[in-house]
């Protein structure tokens, strides 16, 4: 390859880290080197780009990372980059380094940033890396399969304990506005109900009644699975149940109670399971149970701040 044909590229990871990002970085670096090009690694995502934080990478720079989680390039979000002035500054930095093209590994936010750079004249390629699986034009995003298997393994273990104590579990998984992770995990583990943002639901009909019907077949209480953002949204609760204050809605909005149930907070998980069981077995209205959860929330959250991100 002649000197005129050699190019200089850069790669960065941005947004939430996802399993498989390191393997993608390794592939980008070694492919570029194999083709005779120069490749830079930009550290700490777009924030690192704004600070011109990048180093040239060699073949040994990406040794022994293919099996490691996270990203060796680190990741961070940048408020400055979201502005037009910040994007122009990023372009100037890339050009000052002689970067001919940029590879961005990340989710939808990272892709929006890449699109901005592309519009300003920087050739950009996006590799979809997010456990949410919410990037169009691809069957699976990098990290989704690993996250799904992690969720399935966790739910299987949780179900063993729940059934041993004749309880049910409310399991919350990540996914933001996309229900792929919850849907696949629910299917794989035989959840009684799976609640996703894409499909409106009614707590009494879609969860409680289904659990009652399932119990008539002789099955013990199971585990509903829900996605992280919705379905217990402010709009839904206000429309469905009267008398819930904004403070109570804010407490529910953190999702911390449900997150604790799957991540191992025994007190919170047991409390929630007991409340769902009360709805099913005692014919207690769902609205009353939800208010009881809100009353318990303050005590639980004060003792479990680590679950609130």
Here the tokens at position 78 are 């940048």
Here the tokens at position 198 are 């894409």
Residue of 17, 108, 132, 134 marked catalytic: 132
What is the CB-side half-sphere exposure of residue 223 using CA atoms within 13 A?
A: 31
Tell me the DSSP string of 71-93. Answer: -TT-----TGGGSHHHHHHHHHH
* Residue 55 CB neighbour total at 10 angstroms: 11
Active site residue 246: no
Residue 10 is inside which H or E element, if any? strand 8-13
Strand 171-173: give its sheet, edge to edge.
171-173, 225-227, 194-195
Instruction: Tell me how many degrees the CA angle 209-213-216 measures, rounded to the nearest 5.
Output: 145
Find the DSSP H helices in the chain. Answer: 21-34, 45-50, 84-96, 108-119, 144-164, 180-189, 209-215, 234-240, 246-253, 256-263, 266-282, 286-303
- The C-alpha atoms of residue 94 and residue 122 are separated, in whole angstroms, by 8
Catalytic residues: 132
């Amino acid at each position: 390859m002649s000197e005129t044909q050699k190019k200089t590229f850069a790669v960065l990871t941005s947004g939430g880290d996802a399993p498989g990002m390191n393997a993608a970085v390794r592939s980008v670096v070694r492919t570029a080197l194999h083709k005779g090009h120069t490749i830079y690694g930009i550290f700490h995502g777009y924030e690192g780009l704004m600070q011109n934080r990048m180093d040239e990478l060699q073949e040994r720079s990406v040794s022994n990372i293919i099996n490691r989680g996270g990203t060796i390039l680190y990741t961070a979000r940048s408020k400055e980059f979201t502005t037009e002035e910040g994007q122009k500054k990023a372009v100037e930095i890339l050009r000052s380094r002689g970067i001919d093209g940029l590879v961005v590994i990340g989710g939808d936010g990272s892709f929006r940033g890449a699109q901005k750079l592309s519009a300003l004249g920087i050739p950009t390629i996006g590799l979809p890396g997010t456990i949410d699986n919410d990037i169009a034009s691809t069957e699976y995003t990098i990290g989704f399969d690993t996250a799904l298997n992690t969720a399935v393994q966790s739910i299987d273990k949780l179900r063993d304990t729940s059934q041993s104590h004749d309880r049910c579990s409310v399991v919350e998984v990540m996914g933001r506005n996309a229900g792929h992770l919850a849907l696949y995990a629910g299917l794989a583990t035989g959840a009684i109900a799976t609640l996703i943002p894409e499909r409106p639901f009614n707590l009494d009909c879609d969860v409680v009644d289904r659990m009652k019907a399932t119990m008539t077949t002789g099955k013990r209480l199971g585990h509903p699975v829900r996605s992280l953002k919705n379905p217990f949204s402010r709009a839904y609760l206000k429309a469905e149940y009267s008398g819930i204050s904004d403070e109570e809605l804010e407490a529910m909005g953190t999702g911390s109670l449900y997150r604790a149930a799957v991540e191992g907070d025994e007190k919170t998980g047991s409390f929630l399971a007991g409340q769902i069981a009360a709805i099913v077995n005692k014919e207690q209205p769902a609205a009353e149970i939800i208010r009881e959860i809100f009353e318990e929330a303050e005590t639980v959250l004060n003792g479990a701040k680590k679950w609130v991100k």
